[in-house]
Amino acid sequence: MKEPKGFIGLTRFGPVAAEIEEHLRCELARRFGLPIRRLGEELAPVGWNPERQQYLGEAMLAELHHAAPPDAVRVLALTEVDLYAPEMDFIFGQAEVGGRTAIVSLHRLHPEASGEAPNRILFLRRALVECVHELGHTFGLVHCPFASCVMHFSEGLEETDRKGPGFCHEHARQLRAALAQV
């Protein structure tokens, strides 16, 4: 298998704590076998819907697609704003399946956002799970029927907490194949 070339760019829509970015940068590099480079200035959130008091994920993803540097294999954006998709109350993230860009909202991943006690370890685990999931989509991976696979769809935090940041056997194989093409 050939060694993957290139890097995954990491950026943000609005401010995100540097220690969160650094934790995810290290974990994602280990899991995808590609260097994760922090990209320049933060992007301004777009797609505000005043009726919903949320941002449209598709609008943020389109903005990210236009801002993505051409030399990045993939680009992941983090944000603390709340995202939604049409006909959904909220989304944890969104990606171009088989494309280059993905976004993850940290907003609802904080335990205190759902009335739980603050728990930094739980929050960082949730953030990693959602980042791996969305980046998996960019490598062509679709949702998985196995609840423990990171590619299983999460309707809420219960599903995110049940699955880990690891891939089932089939999705791990598909990811290896996709990375071999990079």
Query: What is the residue extent of each domain of the chain?
Result: 8-180
In the structure, what pLDDT confidence band is assigned to residue 41 with cuts at 50, 70 and 90?
confident
* Tokens 């030399």, residue located: 71
Q: Which residues are catalytic?
A: 134
Q: How far apart are CA 82 and CA 62, in angstroms?
A: 16
**pLDDT 10s digits, 139-181:** 999 999 999 999 999 999 999 999 999 999 999 999 999 999 9
Identify the three-state secondary structure at position 63.
helix
In the structure, what pLDDT confidence band is assigned to residue 5 with cuts at 50, 70 and 90?
confident
Average pLDDT over residues 66-91: 96
* Beta-carbon count within 10 A of 117 CB: 7
Both tokens of residue 168?
């089932």
Average pLDDT over residues 61-88: 96
Q: Which amino acid is at 60?
A: M
pLDDT at 104: 98
How many percent of the chain have pLDDT more than 90? 94
Q: Where are the beta strands (DSSP E) in the chain?
A: 8-13, 36-38, 48-49, 54-56, 74-79, 83-84, 93-95, 101-105
pLDDT at 1: 45
pLDDT at 4: 53
Cβ(11)–Cβ(28) below 8 Å: no
Which of 81, 69, 3 lies closest to 37 in space, CA to CA?
69
pLDDT at 40: 87
Rg of the chain's alpha carbons, rounded to an integer? 15
- The CATH superfamily label for domain 8-180 reads Collagenase (Catalytic Domain) (3.40.390.10)
Q: Looking at the predicted structure, is the pLDDT value of residue 105 above 80?
A: yes
- Who contacts 71 (Cβ-Cβ below 8 Å, separation ≥6)? 6, 7
Cβ(164)–Cβ(150) below 8 Å: yes
Q: Where are the beta strands (DSSP E) in 19-61?
A: 36-38, 48-49, 54-56
Give the orientation angle of helix 18-32 with respect to helix 120-138, to 10 degrees: 50
Cβ(32)–Cβ(62) below 8 Å: no
Residues paired with 77 in a beta bridge: 11, 103
